[in-house]
Chain A
Amino acid sequence: MKETSNKYLISALLLGLAFHGSSIFFTLETTYDALIHLFFADHYANSWFEPWNYEWYTGFTVQSYPPLVHQSIGLLSMVGGLKFGMFSVALIAIVLFITGTYRFSLLMTGNKTVSGYACLLAVFSSSFVETLHIFGQLPSIVGVSVLMHALPEIYLWLKTGKKWYLATSLSLIAVTVTSHHVTPIFGMVFFIFPLIGMVIMDVSREQVNTMKEVTFKIFLNTFFKLFKRIVSFGMLSLVLIIGCIFPYWLNSKANPITQVPIPHGSRDNFLEITSSGLVFFLIPWGILLILLPYIFYRYYSKRYLFFGLSVTICTILGTGGTTPVPLKMLGETAFNILTLDRFTLWASILSIPLMGEFAYRFVEGDLKTLIQTKLGAVYHRIIGGILAGLAVFMVIFTMSLNYFRPSQPQKIKMLPIVNFLNQDDHDKWRFLTLGFGDQMAWLSAQTDAMTVDGNYHSARRLPELTTRPIERLENSKFKGVAGIGSLQQFLTTPEKYNLKYIFSNDKFYDPILYFCGWQRLRQLENGIMVWERLNIPPVSAILPKEDVAKWLKIHWGIIPFLTVLIAFVLNIQMLFVLALKTRVKPKPDFLKFPIAYTKFNRNVLRITHLWSLILAIIVFYGIYLFYLKNESQISPENAIVAYYDALDFKEFEKAHSLIDPNSNIPIAQYMLEISVTDGLLSSYAKMDAIETEITALNDSTVSAKVTSQWITPLEKIEKVDYKSLSKIKGKWFLQPDDLNNDLPPDQLYSDNVTKYFNQGRRRITTEATHHEDILKQPVLEVIQAKLVQFDGSYAIIGEVQNIDNVPADVILKGTLYNDDNKQLATYNAKYHVKHKLMPKESSSFRINFEGIAWSKTQDSIPDTFNPDEFTPVEFEEQPTKFNLQVAGNVSGSDLYKNVVLSDVNIKDCMLNGNLFNSGIQEITIPQLLITYYDNDQNMVWVDHMFVKAGVRQQRKQHFEYPIIIDGDVKIINDDMKNIFVNGLPNEDISDKIVPNRIKNHTNAELQPIDHLDFSGIKIEINTYIGSPN
């Protein structure tokens, strides 16, 4: 028999390569996963046999992910760089996928034309498009494609018992295993088990005349007949699954994933969170949704019965949290670890052969005849057009999803960052990126510097990370509660992780960085702001690692490629044999069971019609609801929500369009008014929730009480506004608010200030510590410090002064001990200190002792986040002593002190006042540090408050501070013995430099308050300047 090339397959390959091959250059780098694989590939390219990677998470092992795809990229990167490697592997994956679907379809249908249709459609299958171009899951695609290649070989082994097929099938399973671990395990269940069922069916069928005669008895007999082959295949593939990536299993046993589950969209209720429903259900199913009745009808025929079960289970599991079924089927643990979108992917891949079959029957088979005879040729053409149009729409929609809703920040030029890290030994410290998205993996791949963060959350090891449901610190703002809470701990005690540099691509994090004691270094030419923290020791030269046996390293380095080599030899050799026609190739057994496409079941057509109608109604209703929810001026509620959303996203033009046009505020004026408001709320807040209470006056005027919740990096803010709305020509508009008219007396201001410049290295040298290049640490003095207990938690409070002649950056580290001198807790001062002090300036401070938040029980995580909240560390023993280490370093930045307390009034425990900005920088966030003194004028507590609005130059800003009512502070220890400044005893410094200190010098100037426990307060002001100029 002359073998002809399948023109459908060839055109599918050409089309697939041209379409996907050219578009990956625009999509792959912005996908979620591709860059992570690139980072792993970089690891293999640099150290093929050493599985320990120091760059992420203070070290992790790459044996936590199957290596084949990473190693392939790594190997190809030797030729043309990492990205060349990634794109080459992606092209290979595309070819493997298309040929895989062809072979799988041929196995299922036994018809080459149908298979040709199937693989042609597979090129444009939206689940494949999404997995490749949006998720970038290369290992998963390679895994499932190779698995599809393996299926015919498995069939032939089971059917014929020829050992050759056992070898080929096992060789392909091995490749699957080394490229993706989950695919073969679940592939066993969802692909191979039903395949075994089908083989048994086929063998049984051969014993009788028609499919109908296959009874359960015959089926069972056949099963026992084939039992040996099935078991031998099963056992051997189990050996391969374990053996090929044995180090992986060993590692998962040694480091089991014991972390708080990270929320994933595929576990959401798709009806509630429609965006998840779109990405994890609608897109992967795509056009297949319409064919569902046909798919189920065909898969529940006797031969495919087991595939029917498999596709049903996959479909149900793929619905995530929409129904409680997946949770019950998988159990709590598996449900929370697995991402459920993969089930939908498999269901859609299982459906591909039938999609091809449907297309074939529709285009040139019995379905065409049926429709044309019943409903007419025109109808057939229209339906064909609609289906084709929908399919094309789904592809375009999926491909463009990243364009309209970017999942990643704009592409960041990494070169300036890489250069920065290589300069001046900056890579001797760890760094952290903020707001980089998955591009942080690309940065890590390009540099040897280490970060505390990482992008492969299964490998996290620090308890500060594993106890939070966050993937990365880098995007912590999107993770509300836990996110910023976790980030705060890293920012407050960075010396623990040798974290010195932060690259921020998101202004949102600036205030928290500032108030945790970080300072801006400079902006790189790619717009990334570099923040640094002083007094951080460099990473030690020798870092701990979890070593594994040498044979495991060699196994991990060699076996994956060996499996590819063996599979290549075994399978490609067949191709050569075929090409050279040296041997007459027997017709594969599965081609013996084709189906005659003669009579399309009418009921199926009817049900499909009905189903399509239902789908159409659901879709249109969904669009209608979407319209109602998003049409901004259809109701006053919508108008308010739209207005606040527009403000939140800084879409001022849109916000302006919602303002009453009769108020005659031009956009220029509106922008002017908006742009003069700076501060925590207007510049650094993200709206979390909004609630409107509408009081209708008449049909065209309403008043609304708007309660909005805002998350800022520092604290959660609740804001209540009263808005009036009016209806003009059926549309609701907001009335504009009043302005602050404050006008300073002068046009031009001048100011003299002392500025400082620390040039760092005076000589261009790489000598590590040239002693002349090192500045003396400024001398600080702790004037008083005491350990107090207030409201159930312990804190060290006190006052520190810069007694040197240069400005100082202050870092305070407190440690608590019990009576037996056992160390109980240690932490740094976070918000409650002015981190930058001018010569002779003093600051009150408070050190809270934070535990690793929410580490105790998972369910104590609050639902809504208050960044200001912290988890006090739980003491098993009573702390009675403390040690305070103060470090000063010369710093010339953030020394703006021109803020004035210009008015104070106290009434009913509410302190009102005005802050006046007497300088020439705009204060973005003023912070008040309030020190409380007891009736004997001893300081007992330090509190703080962030003023929500900024203060413009030469203007006033009103603030309100509620005085603490319950003031039962217990002083536990006020012994100043264990206080050290720059490593020297505080007392010696004090005696030498300020021997005649006037004790409690400014106590006469305390603000008296009428309070049971306190006699007075002291107000200090700290300022954050958002954009210094």
Chain B
Amino acid sequence: MQIKRTYLLLLGLMLLSSFAVVQHTKVVSTEIKLVSTETEFEVGQPIVLRFSTSRNVPLDLYCSNSYGSTVISSSLKNNTLEFVIPENITKKIGAINWTLLDETKSLSGKLHVLPKPEVVSMETYIGPPSIEAGGKDYTTLVVIPTDSLDNPVPTNTLVDAKFQFLDSEEGFDIFTKNLIAYRNIYSKRPSGRMLVSSESIGINSKEYTINVMPSIPTDFKISATRPHDYADGNQVTTFWTTIIKDEYNNVVSDGTFVTFFIKNKKGHMLKTTGTTIDGIANSKIIHPDFADKWSVKAYVDGMSESNSISISYKQVIKDFDVEFSEHNRLIEIGPLQSFMDQMIPDGLHIKLKIYQKNTLINTLTKTSFNGYTSFKLKPAIYQNDDYNFSIETAGLSKEFKSIKLW
């Protein structure tokens, strides 16, 4: 019985206490009222929030804007609570939300800090810094005019964007919206350099540069130049392209990579590459050392190609002599004579294929010197036996059967 009574007592007390709380809140909420009526301020103006109160209790005010939140303490004068909003908040445009930190946090509101119609500086961004000619590619100019407190200016502030490109100078009026003014600048057909600046309420930006680069190359033609048309394996043939242009007649940018594919008489693919300067690519290749006919075609991979040209090289070495000496272990080849019967320039490849019992056992390669060359067959490697030899140079081949080494 005793316990039951205690419980009842406790419950009663709890009930009673809850009433007390409810009553108390009621009293407080009716006590404090917002006195200030202004909700819009120009940026930089001091903002003071006033509340009338019947109690002499100082309270705090929670307020937040786009930069962050803070709690402000009040000063109490003649039953008026005064909150001075700090400068770092009043200096930024946008909404300020406030809440009075009393027990119920029932009082809250919103203030608006409005921008000033003045421009002190301009933030300007432009990018990408290079675009392709042809009118499809564009770059974006973004201008943010700001006031003396570094706030964006009011919506619909006029910004004058100015462009210079080749012979034309143009201006566009754009208006700020959502704090910024922007414009997409489309390329024109020609390539070149575009200078961009902007102006707003008497303030000018600095100069910005946009490079309008040529578009992808179109088909072109090729040609070949060479000192002579002999296959001497020494001189160099140069291939040239015509000026490579894009579809808008712009010369492609320097360094554009062109590949020349060469198909020779045997159907093998040779290859030389070049990069353009002022639209012309040239590429070199050494002459073959045997008579050959090349068909040449150049490509910019996946984008454009040239016509196909055909060039042929004449045989220079008609025939050569081979001499065996020193137990047939010294093979002397020469003279190797070129088209005017001059000695072939040094460095012609001469291949000696050595067969033992009709199987190739080794291939020796040497280069000519003063029109001659010689092979020495070392006894340690080539034991005394009968060998077959095949000597190949300049596309010619000579066979020597059953030569005995001893």
Contact = CB atoms under 8 A, between A and B. Distances in A.
A916 B346 CA distance: 16
B257 A838 contact: yes
Contact of B127 (A741, A771, A802, A902): A771
B236 A754 contact: no
A801 B301 contact: yes
Nearest to B290: A903
A776 interface: yes
Interface in A915-941: 916, 918
Given A722-B378, A741-B346, A742-B367, A998 B271 contact: no
A776 B366 CA distance: 51
Nearest to A702: B380
Contact of A697 (B270, B272, B274, B379): B379
A783 interface: yes
B268 A904 contact: yes
B216 A745 contact: no
Contact of B267 (A801, A841, A1001, A1008): A1008
Interface in A684-709: 695, 697, 702-705
B38 to A, nearest CB: 40
Nearest to B273: A897
A379 to B, nearest CB: 58
Interface in B270-293: 270-277, 283-286, 288
B276, B286, B369: most-surrounded residue (chain A CB, <10 A)? B286
A997 B302 contact: yes
Contact of B286 (A803, A916, A994): A916
A842 B301 contact: yes
Contacts of A753: 275, 277
B305 interface: yes
Contacts of A740: 347, 367
A901 B367 contact: no
Interface in B239-291: 252-259, 261, 263, 266-277, 283-286, 288
Contacts of A839: 252-253, 255-257
Contacts of B288: 902-903
Contacts of B256: 805, 838-840
A722 B272 CA distance: 35
B205 interface: no
A754 B254 contact: yes
Interface string B117-160: 00000000101111010001100000000000000000000000
B284 A904 contact: no
Contacts of A703: 378-381
B80 interface: no
B76 interface: no
Contacts of B284: 898, 900, 918
A806 B367 CA distance: 41
A128 B309 CA distance: 80
A1001 B302 contact: yes
A1006 interface: yes
A807 B257 CA distance: 10
Contact of A904 (B270, B277, B286): B270
A769 interface: no
Contacts of A765: none
A998 to B, nearest CB: 5
Contact of A902 (B136, B217, B270): B270
A964 to B, nearest CB: 18
Interface residues of B, number: 62
Given A783-B302, A1006-B269, A993 B367 contact: no
B269, B288, B305: most-surrounded residue (chain A CB, <10 A)? B269
A754 B299 CA distance: 19
B306 to A, nearest CB: 12
B106 interface: no
A1001 B380 contact: no
Contact of A1001 (B255, B305, B369): B305
Interface in A976-1029: 992-994, 997-999, 1001-1002, 1005-1008, 1019
A776 B269 contact: no
A48 to B, nearest CB: 38
A742 B302 contact: no
B130 A805 contact: yes
B275 A754 contact: yes
A900 B217 contact: no
A960 B40 CA distance: 83
Contacts of B128: 776
A897 B257 contact: yes
B94 interface: no
A994 B130 contact: no
A745 B302 contact: no
Contacts of A994: 216, 302-303
B391 interface: no
Given A741-B368, A900-B285, A840 B300 contact: yes
A1007 B268 contact: yes
A958 interface: yes
Contacts of B137: 992
Contacts of B214: 805
Contacts of A738: 366
A741 B302 contact: no
Given A901-B270, A993-B216, A998 B130 contact: no
Given A841-B301, A903-B288, A1005-B297, A805 B253 contact: yes
Contacts of A1008: 267
Contacts of B267: 1008
Nearest to B255: A754
A994 B301 CA distance: 11
Contact of A743 (B216, B258, B301, B346): B346
Contact of A752 (B217, B234, B277, B286): B277
B388 interface: no
Interface string A429-471: 0000000000000000000000000000000000000000000
A840 B378 contact: no
B347 to A, nearest CB: 3
Given A702-B380, A1019-B271, A742 B136 contact: no
A906 interface: yes
A903 B345 CA distance: 19
A740 B136 CA distance: 56
A999 B380 CA distance: 57
A82 B346 CA distance: 63
B88 to A, nearest CB: 24
Nearest to A696: B380
A992 B134 CA distance: 12
Nearest to A958: B365
A758 interface: no
B289 to A, nearest CB: 9
B277 A724 contact: no
B145 to A, nearest CB: 18
A428 interface: no
A1002 to B, nearest CB: 6
A904 B303 contact: no
Given A724-B378, A805-B214, A901 B271 contact: yes
A4 interface: no
B365 to A, nearest CB: 7
B272, B275, B347: most-surrounded residue (chain A CB, <10 A)? B275
A840 B269 contact: no
B275 A918 contact: no
Interface of B: 125, 127-130, 132, 136-137, 213-214, 216-217, 234-236, 252-259, 261, 263, 266-277, 283-286, 288, 297, 299-303, 305, 345-347, 349, 365-369, 378-381
20 contacts: A703-B381, A742-B346, A742-B367, A743-B234, A743-B345, A743-B347, A744-B234, A745-B345, A754-B276, A776-B127, A807-B255, A840-B303, A918-B284, A956-B347, A994-B216, A998-B303, A999-B302, A1001-B302, A1001-B303, A1019-B269
Given A705-B381, A742-B347, A1007-B268, 11 more contacts: A741-B346, A801-B301, A805-B213, A806-B255, A838-B256, A897-B275, A901-B269, A918-B272, A1001-B301, A1005-B297, A1008-B267
